[in-house]
Structure 1
Amino acid sequence: MVKRDTLNLFRKIAKLVAPPPKWTVSQWADAERYLSPESSAAPGKWNTDRAPYQREILDSVNNPDYEEIVIKASSQVGKSEIINNIIGYFISYDPSPILLIMPTVDTAEDYSKDRIAPMIRDTPALTKKVGDPKSRNGNNTLLHKKFPGGHLTLVGANSPAGLASRPIRVVLADEVDRFPTSAGKEGDPLSLGHKRTKTFWNRKKISVSTPTDAETSRIEAEYESSTKAQWCVSCPSCGHFQPYKWEQIRFEGVLMECVSCKEQHNEMEWKARPAKWIHRNPDARKLGFHLNALASPWERWETIIYEFKEAKKKGPEKLKTWKNTTLGEVWEEKLQENDHIKIMHRRVNYEAEVPEDVLVLTGGVDVQDDRLEVEIVGWGLGEKSAGIAYKIFMGDPGQQAVWDQVDTFLAKEWTRPDGVTLSISAACVDSGGHYTTEVYEYCKAREHRRIFAIKGKGGKGIPFINRPSKVGRKKDTYLYNLGVDEAKDTINGRLKIENPEKPGYCLFPLNKDKGYDEAYFVGLTAEYKKLKSVGGVVTYQWVKRSSSIRNEPFDLRVYAFAAFKIFNPDLDYLAEHNLTGNIYKQSAKTKRRRRRGVLSKGV
């Protein structure tokens, strides 16, 4: 009996002093991690086998032969949980300084509150390592969490200060394709983060993202220089291993065809088969993984097919988003020199000044040194647009006469085939040229008609419509700063829609007195996106096809679109009640109705 007690005592002592087991990240997660109800439909104990493709990705962090890991993936494949498990592993099992870079400071704060805090709260192995956020010792703040042997810092890629201090062993970068091209004036934020790891021989740099545009995608470039692994599943008929590919999906019956034997099987049959990662470029110095939603246990192929059909109906913008977020693939813009010919051939004769389905009119005014150019655009359900009139007023914008002509034009009423008349609900006037003061004075006197001064700014990530600021001599004129790249992307995508029934379709008149001749369409398609190097960072920019081509028609469509977005009418309400944008005129009755919220979502 004494010997048995002594043996049990020695076993307990040995267990206490023994080194911890040599876990990989996936083994730690399976042993210690708990999913939180805020982030999972199935909270509770983590199980890597629910999505077996995650195991090799997680365990690649423990591979001493690679310091860089790239994950190019769609939504709904568990990207965030992969990041969380890596963070949890290094807090609990291999304490180290960790940096998590998000696109902005705001997204970093949201991630900390919505993902990191619940994980620490619900995973006991982390709760006992990270201090209570309610304590006053400052060890657990929203963006900085200390633990024995290390700390976790969350920063925004748009914050140079957050990227410029502290040595870091583990750098995690999430949604790198949404990073700004530069952190202030400091340069590429991803490179800045990676420089922080130089003092660690065992550093790890992990980049994760859903891809965006082909020529500017950071994650695509990183993946192409990696081992380029694909999650491959064996065919139920012939056993051939192959990745899940959209081209092999058959809508009828919701099947996938084997690339080798051509047999077709349903989703459950494929997902029940053995699968593994196959690295197509095994000699690369960084590990790279590509995943799409077809492999996800949380996505059904039937749903994916339905979402594809819906995106295709709505045009290139939605299709691009679907391809990025569902297939985890980049979007390639196809540029053609004769785009204007295709669009010009879509012109039709209008029965009246305005097509019958137009509900709202907006305008755009471009200011040149010797003229003012104006376009009136009509808007209907689904944001279908119709060119109403394009007109050039020659004259010196420094003189009142040319402004008077434009003012008369913007005050004109336009008639639909049913006899209903419409007037301009909002207009935007470009203030970025040599006549800024004149623009401010003109717009200030007409803000009650929603005629606003605007200034466009190019660059990735700038919202199209921002809150107006006060400018002018007395700081009493509203100025809207526009992120024109976002608008140009939208308009360019809509110009490619060929089905008049689709939302966003652009209609143009064949009537000769409307101003839509070939020169207009050349100007409308005068710009395209080109790769350019800015401060050593390669980025996509809108540029003119030729310096001799006028691009005012493209700019004017952007300004009229901005006026529509600023005005922000409820088109469904107007159509349902057989109304037009005219009801938004500033009458006392309209103001009372707007305060009750029945007319407009915006101004």
Structure 2
Amino acid sequence: MVPEIDLAWRRGIRPEPPIPVSDWADRHRILPPTSAEPGRWRTDRTPYLRAVMDALSTSSPYERVVLMKGAQTGGSEAGLNWLGYIIQNAPGIAMLVMPSLDMVRRNTTVRIDPLIEATPALRDLVSAPRSRDAGNSLFRKSFPGGQLVMTGANSAVGLRSTPVRYLFLDEVDGYPGDADGEGDPVDLAIQRTTTFRGRRKIYMVSTPTLKGHSRIEAAYLDSDQRYFHVPCQHCGDMAPITWARIRWPEGHRDAAYLLCDACGGVHHEHEKPRLMSAGEWRSTALGDGRTAGFHLSSLYSPWETWAEIAQEHARVSKDPARLQVWVNTKLGESWEDQAGDTVPADPLMARREDWGSDLAPGVAVLTAGVDVQGDRIEVQIVGWGRDEEAWVIDYRVLWGDPSGPRLWSDLDGVLNSTYGDLPVRAVAVDTGGHHTKMAYEFCRTRLARRIWAIKGRGGPGIPVWPRRPTRTNKGKIP
């Protein structure tokens, strides 16, 4: 056998070295001159990222790794280290999804190309860029044994282009709610990994946005919910760094420090590296056993001080819009708008009326609202009376897989039910989230029963129930 062919054959059958991603990064990753800290990568600079990266290693038991983070914590850099590890150590088809195609173009130029060019271990493995070679382009990087495909969450074509073993979902809270009318982009992307179940790796990373609407928060809540605990240098108590523990002398936020809740010990900014190096991740939930979830605020960042974060809080604390950005990007927490008045629970419960199995006397017509989720369909039946007075008649959760026909048959049975002597006269099915095609097909075949596909839209100035425009005497809409 020709020596070159024999060598290539032996490389092809060589098993994946049992090296974790963090070790690969420490050995091989070189940060480009455009980086804030150019030169060799050192995981010790951000020790909290070691467990995140190692959970992405092929030897790790986790299929999904979720990082809900603040800004300037290195979450995306950990993802780049993972991509480098894949190219050299565990080749296969990988996909990187950014919020839009424009962001993909910018990310390739600013981060992916410098990652490859600055790291000798990767430079010779990725196809050289040529004008007529699709193996190295803004959207594709080819290497022996695999490819890195990059696409935007706004491109349904890109999301369903090919099966992938490795999936990197970056800034998922910036994704659109729907990709070209084909459904949730996260669901579409994850579907690409199903043929690799048991061997796939999915990395979701993002700063969160609004509570109840944040994809990264929802994914984190399904995980084992880990927090990075650091030891008190005075009493040894282990606890996460939280905003409630950041204090400062009256009027001197520039002297902010970390307070130990257990003993009252004070830790100053210069002690942060020592705290980080002695820290450890601790889970606070069982999760599903396949998802490792990490929460990380900017309070841990080596590139931002507690004083800077405290001073910025002072500048934005009285402006809800700016405070939301601070909560999302500094604390890595979702924002819950509390500007409106809250309703005490007890007086509200005291006003309940029990109608038993009968409908309230004022109910004249029934409608239904249907919400489709990834693993269930939820249905609410509402009774309407004079002056649009409404009663919630029934609420059901139908568990199952909405991608198949059985769950939609169960929904049909619910909508065909009668309450008292009244049938459901009209139905609105939300098609703006999961399993859009199945929802459209369900509605299309039942238009005669007034089962309509809708897509919700909220925001300032949008009426809850839009009125039809009236016509003038000349038959024109004013």
The TM-score with structure 2 as length reference comes to 0.67
Tell me the secondary structure at the aligned position of residue 194 of structure 2.
coil
Aligned-partner SS, 2:314: helix
1:120-152: CA deviation from partner (whole Å, max 9, x where unpaired): 001011111101113633210111111110000
Unaligned runs of 5+ in 1: 1-13, 340-531, 551-603
What residue is the counterpart of 2:397 in the other structure?
none
Shift of 1:536: 3.8
* CA shift digits 1:530-584 (9 cap, x unpaired): xx9543459883489996999xxxxxxxxxxxxxxxxxxxxxxxxxxxxxxxxxx
1:24-43 mapped onto 2 (5 Å cutoff): 24-38=20-34, 40-43=35-38
Distance 1:237 1:142, change over 3 A: same
Residue identity in the other structure for 2:311: Y
Sort the Cα spacing of 1:540 and 1:88 in 2 relative to 1 into closer, same or farther, 3 A: farther
Residue in 2 aligned with 1:57? 52
Residues 25 and 85 in structure 1, CA contact (< 8 A), matched pair in contact too? yes
How far, CA to CA, are the matches of 1:35 and 1:545 in structure 2?
47
| 2:41 corresponds to | 46
Contact preservation (8 Å) 1:181, 1:539: no
In 2 relative to 1, CA 18–138 (structure 1 residues): closer, same or farther, beyond 3 Å? closer
- Match for residue 312 of structure 2 among 307, 310, 332: 307
Q: Which has the higher contact order (CA 8 A, sep 6+)?
A: 2
Q: Which residue identity is paired with 1:138?
A: A
Matches within 5 A, 1:442-453: none
Tell me what 2:295 maps to.
Answer: 290
Change (3 A) 1:37 1:336: same
Corresponding residue of 1:208? 205
Given residue 306 of structure 1, which amino acid in structure 2 is its aligned partner? Q
The residue that corresponds to 1:331 in the other structure is 335
Once the two structures are overlaid, the 10-residue window that deviates more, 254-263 or 191-200, is 254-263
State yes or no: 1:160 paired with 2:164: no
Checking the alignment, whether the CA contact within 8 Å between 2:177 and 2:432 is kept in structure 1 is no
Query: 2:202, 2:145 → 1: CA distance?
Result: 19
Alpha-carbon contact 1:214-1:332 (below 8 Å) kept: yes
The residue type paired with residue 310 of structure 1 is R
Picking from 415, 432, 451, the partner of 1:535 is: 432
- State how 1:175-574 maps to structure 2 within 5 Å: 175-200=171-196, 201-252=198-249, 253-273=255-275, 274-285=278-289, 286-313=291-318, 315-336=319-340, 534-537=431-434, 541-542=458-459
Where does residue 113 of structure 2 map in the other structure?
117
Corresponding residue for residue 404 of structure 1: none
Q: Which amino acid aligns with 2:211?
A: A
Distance 1:160 1:239, change over 3 A: same
TM-score by length of 1: 0.54
Instruction: Select between 268-277 and 326-335 the one with higher mean Cα deviation.
Output: 268-277
Deviations 1:423-459 (A, max 9, x none): xxxxxxxxxxxxxxxxxxxxxxxxxxxxxxxxxxxxx
Following superposition, the deviation at residue 256 of structure 1 comes to 1.3
CA distance, structure 1, for counterparts of residue 155 and residue 462 of structure 2: 35
**TM-superposed deviation, 1:96:** 0.9
Shift of residue 236 of structure 1? Answer: 1.1
Aligned length: 342
Candidates 99, 102, 126, aligned match of 1:103: 99
Letter in 2 for 1:325: T
Letter in 2 for 1:144: R
Offset at residue 282 of structure 1 (A)? 3.7
Is the aligned partner of 1:169 residue 2:86? no
1:75–1:293 CA contact under 8 A, matched in 2: yes
Find the counterpart in structure 1 of residue 124 from structure 2. 128
Contact 2:178 / 2:433 at 8 angstroms: preserved in 1?
no
Residue identity matched to 1:249 = I
**TM-superposed deviation, 1:22:** 2.3
User: What is the Cα deviation at residue 189 of structure 1?
Assistant: 0.3
| Of 73, 79, 83, the match for 2:79 | 83
Give the whole-Å Cα distance in 2 for the aligned partners of 1:547 and 1:190: 28
Q: Output the CA distance in 2 between the equivalents of 1:30 and 1:548.
A: 57
CA contact (8 A) 2:100 2:152 kept: yes
Q: 1:73 Cα shift?
A: 0.4
Residues 497-523 of structure 1: CA deviation (Å, up to 9, x unaligned): xxxxxxxxxxxxxxxxxxxxxxxxxxx
Distance 2:301 2:261 in 1: 20
Greater C-alpha Rg: 1
Counterpart of 1:272 in 2: which secondary structure? helix
Q: Note closer, same or farther for the CA distance 1:150–1:21 as it changes in structure 2 (3 Å cut).
A: closer
Q: CA deviation at 1:259?
A: 2.0
Distance 1:139 1:270, change over 3 A: closer
- How far does residue 164 in structure 1 lie from its aligned partner after superposition? 1.4
Deviations along 1:193-233, one digit per CA (max 9) or x if unpaired, are 00001111401111100001111000011101101011110
Per-residue deviation at 1:270?
4.4
Q: Is the 8 A contact 2:76 2:205 kept in 1?
A: no
Secondary structure in 1 matching 2:133: coil
Task: Give the conservation status (yes or no) of the 8 Å contact 2:298–2:331.
Answer: yes
- The list of structure 1 runs, each at least 4 consecutive aligned residues, that deviate by more than 4 angstroms after superposition, is 17-21, 537-540, 543-550
**Cα deviation, residue 266, structure 1:** 1.3
